[in-house]
A and B are shown apart, each in its own frame.
Chain A
Amino acid sequence: MNDNELLALLRSDPERGLAQIVADYSAYVHKIACARLSDVCTREDIEEIVSDIFLIFYNTGKENGFEIRSVKAMLSVIAKRRCIDSFRSHSDREHTASYNELENYISDDLTDNAYLLEAISRLGEPDSSIFVRKYYFGQKNIDIAKDLGMNINTLNTRLSRGLKKLRKILEEGQ
């Protein structure tokens, strides 16, 4: 089921739509959460956080009739924000932000990061997604290599070459 179909289902039948979103994207969101939180949270905590992420997605989407440009982008941002918050609360023992606060954290601003992300996107696969894993989601090199069935040395070489290529892309763009 593609994203347009998923969003249409969420509008016509929210219950099935939400269940379908979880079925389609729980592996992805779980991956994002594990990348950031596996050192500080238990497996159970991570699963609860993943379920929070879907709930925030659902509540946020419901407010605007599920007019969402990109399901993956929306889930990614919510997941990042929720993981950052959980990381802080588990590290500093601070109070976790409420759902409403979290929803407000989804920013529509464009910052300098946009140029860098465009440059990463131009690296091409598999380098672009390796960079997104490492620098956008904070996944460890060893875990990226494991996910991709790649030797750690190969991954390090790719990152090193990718950095050079990235510099070049950015310089050319200026």
Chain B
Amino acid sequence: MEERLKALEKSVSLIEAEIIEDEFSVISGQSEIPEDAQRRILSSVMKKAGFWVNETLPMMTTEENGSTNEYIIHTSEVVRSRHVGAIAACVAAAAVGVLSAVLVLGGDIQTYKAPNYKSDRHEIYDDSVPADDSVMTEFSEVITESAPEDESINDESSEVQEIVSQGPNENQVKMPNLVGLDTEMAIGILDEKDLNYEIKYDGKKALTSTVQKQSVEADEVVDKGTVVELYVSGEQQYLLEIPVPVGASGPCDFTPYKVEDDGTEIRMTSKSTNRIELYPEPTIKFLLNAEPGDRFVLYYTLPDLGITEDQLYARYIFTDDGEFVLDGEQENFGSASG
């Protein structure tokens, strides 16, 4: 028996692993990792995958505009930017009649003479090239290969077409694919992209409300503020928004309960975050099934502040107007919470 058990250490079969998936869940739930180690691993993975080049913590870092992702520079784009930057430098040099330009591509330094060229500059938006870098020039092929002979490009009547990026069009965004996502998550993504939404429920009972269809196709570029219709499963739900508690820090868990007439509290859903102080949104949103007159109570835990048991955050009543209104005081963690 011991021998058979020891052989398990060498098992790398996926089907076998799926047999003990429940045990993995238990072990996963019992596992902990120091925050700094998690940060290093996250940073390393994202760099290796080509997503980041800086030591930054993603989902939890907020820029001034509230977006969570816009600060991220893709490795491939950095390489490209450096590349087109060199091209731009060369074209600029050519356009003003400088006789030599230095190209630094992949560490190789190449020098060649460039004649006088007329420059024709066009500007376009490009999400992947920083503003003022060249997107394309007539020289691109020559430059990326080897240093050309003077004669090969020595035609002074040629005109250089330089297309310069204005950077991303900040008024437009690319529509994400939300089909299959939990409705709350989908609206969170739309919020991040500054898109508005209208939710249409199919009215059928469902354990989880998920997006079935979206009115704007994935990858379509649309103006910020565009109203996207989401066709979702489940009965009508209403939005309860609470301000992200400013005074709170560390891991945080919010759980709303519906209060029955006899006082019984029925758990509805929960929201967790590892770093509440860096939560990217100004509010935490819950979509709840509710009817006028229904009462709700919201509890929270904040282990870093020593609150490990559910603590009352606020009580709400759902009104005829389809809104949640505070029923009493709201915990503000000792600071202004918006």
Interface positions of A (Cβ within 8 A of B): 1, 4-5, 8-9, 11-13, 15-16, 18-20, 22-23, 25-28, 30-31, 43, 47-48, 50-52, 54-55, 58, 69-70, 72-74, 76-77, 80-81, 84, 105-114, 116-118, 120-121, 125-126, 128-129, 131-133, 135-138, 147-148, 163, 166-167
Contacts and interface: CB of A to CB of B under 8 A. Distances in A.
Contacts of B46: 15, 18-19, 22
Contact of B5 (A27, A73, A114, A135): A135
Given A27-B38, A50-B41, A80-B9, 16 more contacts: A5-B181, A12-B180, A12-B189, A13-B189, A31-B27, A70-B17, A72-B25, A111-B13, A116-B5, A120-B20, A120-B23, A126-B26, A128-B26, A129-B23, A129-B27, A132-B23
Contact of A27 (B17, B32, B44): B32
Contacts of B180: 4, 8, 11-12
A80 B23 contact: no
Contacts of A22: 38, 41-42, 45-46
B294 interface: no
Interface in B277-308: none
A81 B14 CA distance: 11
A25 B28 CA distance: 7
6 contacts: A15-B46, A16-B69, A19-B51, A77-B14, A120-B20, A129-B26
B11 A80 contact: yes
Contact of B24 (A1, A9, A20, A72): A72
Given A11-B177, A132-B23, A138-B9, A110 B16 contact: yes
Contacts of B206: none
Contacts of A11: 177, 180
Contact of B72 (A4, A8, A15, A77): A15
Interface string B1-35: 10011111111111111111111111110111100
A135 B11 CA distance: 10
B11 A70 contact: no
Interface residues of B, number: 57
B51 A15 contact: yes
Contacts of B37: 26, 30, 43, 47
B31 A30 contact: yes
Given A73-B24, A166-B1, A51 B181 contact: no
Nearest to B185: A5
B336 interface: no
Nearest to A18: B49
> Which secondary structure dominates where chain B touches chain A?
helix
A18 B72 CA distance: 14
B13 A107 contact: yes
A148 B314 CA distance: 35
Contact of B38 (A23, A72, A106, A112): A23
Q: Of A8, A58, A105, A114, which is in contact with the most chain B CB atoms at under 10 Å from its CB?
A: A8
Contacts of B204: none
Nearest to A24: B28
B33 A30 contact: yes
Given A11-B177, A47-B37, A125-B26, A163 B1 contact: yes
Given A22-B45, A55-B48, A132-B27, A107 B12 contact: yes
A24 to B, nearest CB: 9
B44 A18 contact: no
B253 interface: no
B182 interface: yes
Contacts of B189: 12-13
8 closest pairs, A vs B, by CB?
A51-B44, A73-B17, A27-B33, A28-B28, A27-B31, A72-B24, A12-B177, A31-B31
B146 to A, nearest CB: 31
Contacts of B12: 77, 80-81, 84, 105-107
A23 B176 contact: no
Given A77-B12, A107-B12, A110-B15, A148 B20 contact: no
Contacts of B252: none
A84 B12 CA distance: 10
